[in-house]
């Protein structure tokens, strides 16, 4: 199966599961499990949600539902990491070789590439979907489209009913 037809199949599964969930949190949990299971190069899949002005500090990204090994990075300020870069710019960030990106916060020594896609609610970043791969340059155009599709599903769900 080509990667493009695989991502199309996974999108159909996503649409089905989006219809069966009763909360955005459940949708997020189902998305991380599905992507981790079906996309073989997606070795860690997780959401971070933006907590505004937490504990007297600036806004911080807080680890949400994830699938994969526990990460040391459970709270990430917006000026740190690939995660901070995606949330503060409101842009998808794809890093083909994390060893060459000095923004990178290491989660596992096996990670070689990463994609982070912001989640928007009414045009504002409220979180993001972060995926790590043990393979270099794992995230091609069709992967980016798939991950952006997932982030948009969550954004739409939050617009309908918060959390
Ligand atoms: N690598 C991320 C940190 C999160 S872990 O990958 C789960 C970053 O550089 O922001």
Pocket test for ligand 1, best of 60, 105, 106, 147 (most atoms within 8 A of CB): 105
* Lowest-pLDDT range of 10-14, 64-68, 91-95, 159-163: 159-163
Ligand 1: which residues within 6 Å by Cβ? 44, 46, 71, 73, 76, 81-83, 104-105, 107, 114, 130, 132
Q: How far apart are the C-alpha atoms of 112 and 138, rounded to whole Å?
A: 8
Closest alpha carbon to 132 in 105, 109, 114, 150: 114
The residue whose C-alpha atom lies closest to atom 1 belonging to ligand 1 is 105
In this prediction, residue 3 carries a pLDDT of 75
12 CA to middle of ligand 1, Å?
A: 28
Q: How far apart are the C-alpha atoms of 140 and 9, rounded to whole Å?
A: 16
The residue whose C-alpha atom lies closest to atom 5 belonging to ligand 1 is 107
Give residue 161's pLDDT band: very low, low, confident or very high (50, 70, 90): confident
In this prediction, residue 158 carries a pLDDT of 96
- pTM for the complete prediction? 0.95
For the chain, the DSSP string reads --HHHHHHHHHHHHHHHHHH-SSHHHHHHHHHHHHHHH-TT--EEEEEEEESS-TTSS-EEEEEEEESS--S-SEEETTSHHHHHHHHHTS-EEES-GGG-TTPPPS-TT--EEEEEEEEETTEEEEEEEEEESSTT---HHHHHHHHHHHHHHHHHHHHS--
Residue 54 has pLDDT above 70, yes or no: no
* Mean pLDDT over the full length of the chain: 95
Half-sphere exposure of 77 (CA within 13 A, CB side): 7
In this prediction, residue 8 carries a pLDDT of 93
Give residue 122's pLDDT band: very low, low, confident or very high (50, 70, 90): very high
Residue 1 has pLDDT above 90, yes or no: no
User: In the chain, pLDDT over 90 holds for what percent of residues?
Assistant: 88
Residue 162 has pLDDT above 70, yes or no: no
β-pairing, 113-121 with 44-51?
A: unpaired
In this prediction, residue 163 carries a pLDDT of 61
Give mean pLDDT, residues 114-132. Answer: 98
Q: Which numbered atom of ligand 1 lies nearest the CA of 104?
A: 9
pLDDT digits (tens, 9 = 90+) for 60-110: 999 999 999 999 999 999 999 999 999 999 999 999 999 999 999 998 999
107 CA to middle of ligand 1, Å?
A: 6
């Amino acid at each position: 199966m080509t990667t493009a037809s695989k991502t199309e199949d996974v999108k159909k599964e996503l649409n089905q599961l989006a219809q069966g969930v009763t909360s955005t949190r459940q949708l997020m949990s189902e998305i991380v499990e599905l992507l981790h299971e079906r996309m073989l190069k997606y070795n860690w899949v997780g959401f971070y949600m933006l907590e505004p002005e937490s504990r007297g500090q600036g806004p911080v990204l807080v680890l949400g539902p994830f699938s994969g090994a526990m990460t040391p990075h459970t709270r990430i300020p917006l000026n740190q990491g690939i995660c901070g870069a995606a949330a503060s710019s409101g842009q998808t960030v794809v890093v083909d070789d994390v060893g060459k990106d000095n923004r990178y916060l290491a989660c596992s020594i096996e990670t070689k590439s990463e994609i982070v896609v912001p989640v928007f609610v009414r045009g504002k970043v409220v979180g993001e979907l972060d995926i790590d791969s043990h393979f270099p340059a794992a995230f091609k155009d069709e992967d980016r489209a798939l991950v952006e599709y997932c982030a948009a599903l969550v954004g739409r769900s939050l617009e309908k009913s918060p959390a």
